[in-house]
């Protein structure tokens, strides 16, 4: 876990700039942002995220940037630049977390969502449904709160390797919780993940 800088932590609020979202992602992301805030409020996690029209800059703009991608992605902040290969067809996003050399805390996350996430079905690969896409986005928003890959859970929306129960159509796609048979949506936030976020944002 990486705590945010004190000034941001005390505000209890993060802002996010939508750089570019392909296809249906624009609509799905806004649903995901709403659901993220509902979960944060319901669990009293101490943080909310709102949209910003200002792109992130070194000392200004939004706290977070989000966009769809596939292939090589690269984000830069301060003197650091971080290129990474990213598969735009998998059911995973990628969040790059940047802190300054001074070590005062997390300052700029850059979120990448898979441009064309695909589900494997008995009839072959097809685009993932909106419910699966929403989970991917909410998962990455929790990374932007300061959670890292070692913080992944096994029993809620913050699973490291979600398994999909493919529906007859994309609208019927569901994500298994742990070994099953419980499924999402609706999205479920477990007590372990909630505690980690509270520990980062408690004021």
In the 8-state DSSP scheme, what is residue 135? H
CA–CA distance, 127 with 119 (Å, rounded to integer): 6
Spell out the domain ranges in the chain.
6-201
Structure confidence at residue 171 (pLDDT) = 92
CA–CA distance, 33 with 49 (Å, rounded to integer): 7
CA–CA distance, 100 with 187 (Å, rounded to integer): 33
Can you give the pTM of this predicted structure? 0.93
Structure confidence at residue 179 (pLDDT) = 74
Structure confidence at residue 99 (pLDDT) = 83
Structure confidence at residue 88 (pLDDT) = 92
Look at domain 6-201 and name its CATH class. Answer: alpha beta
Gyration radius (Cα) of the chain, Å: 16
Blockwise average pLDDT, block size 10, the chain, 203 residues: 91 95 93 97 96 87 94 85 90 90 80 95 92 96 97 93 90 87 92 96 84
Structure confidence at residue 102 (pLDDT) = 58
């Amino acid at each position: 876990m990486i705590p945010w800088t004190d000034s941001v932590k005390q505000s209890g609020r993060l802002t996010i700039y939508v750089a570019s979202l392909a296809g249906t992602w624009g609509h799905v992301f806004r649903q995901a942002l709403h659901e993220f805030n509902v979960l944060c409020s319901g669990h009293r996690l101490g943080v909310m995220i709102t949209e910003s029209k200002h792109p992130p800059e070194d000392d200004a703009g939004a706290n977070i940037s989000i966009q769809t991608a596939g292939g090589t992605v690269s984000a830069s902040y301060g003197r650091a630049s971080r290129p990474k290969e990213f598969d735009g067809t998998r059911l995973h996003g990628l969040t790059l977390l940047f802190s300054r050399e001074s070590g005062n805390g997390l300052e700029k996350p850059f979120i990448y969502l898979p441009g064309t996430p695909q589900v494997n079905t008995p009839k072959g690969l097809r685009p993932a449904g909106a419910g699966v896409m929403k989970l991917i986005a909410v998962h990455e928003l929790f990374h932007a709160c300061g959670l890292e890959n070692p913080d992944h859970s096994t029993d809620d929306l913050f699973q490291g390797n979600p398994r999909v129960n493919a529906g007859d159509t994309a609208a019927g796609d569901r994500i298994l919780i742990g070994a099953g048979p419980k499924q999402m949506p609706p999205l479920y936030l477990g007590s372990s993940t909630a505690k980690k976020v509270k520990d980062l944002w408690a004021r």
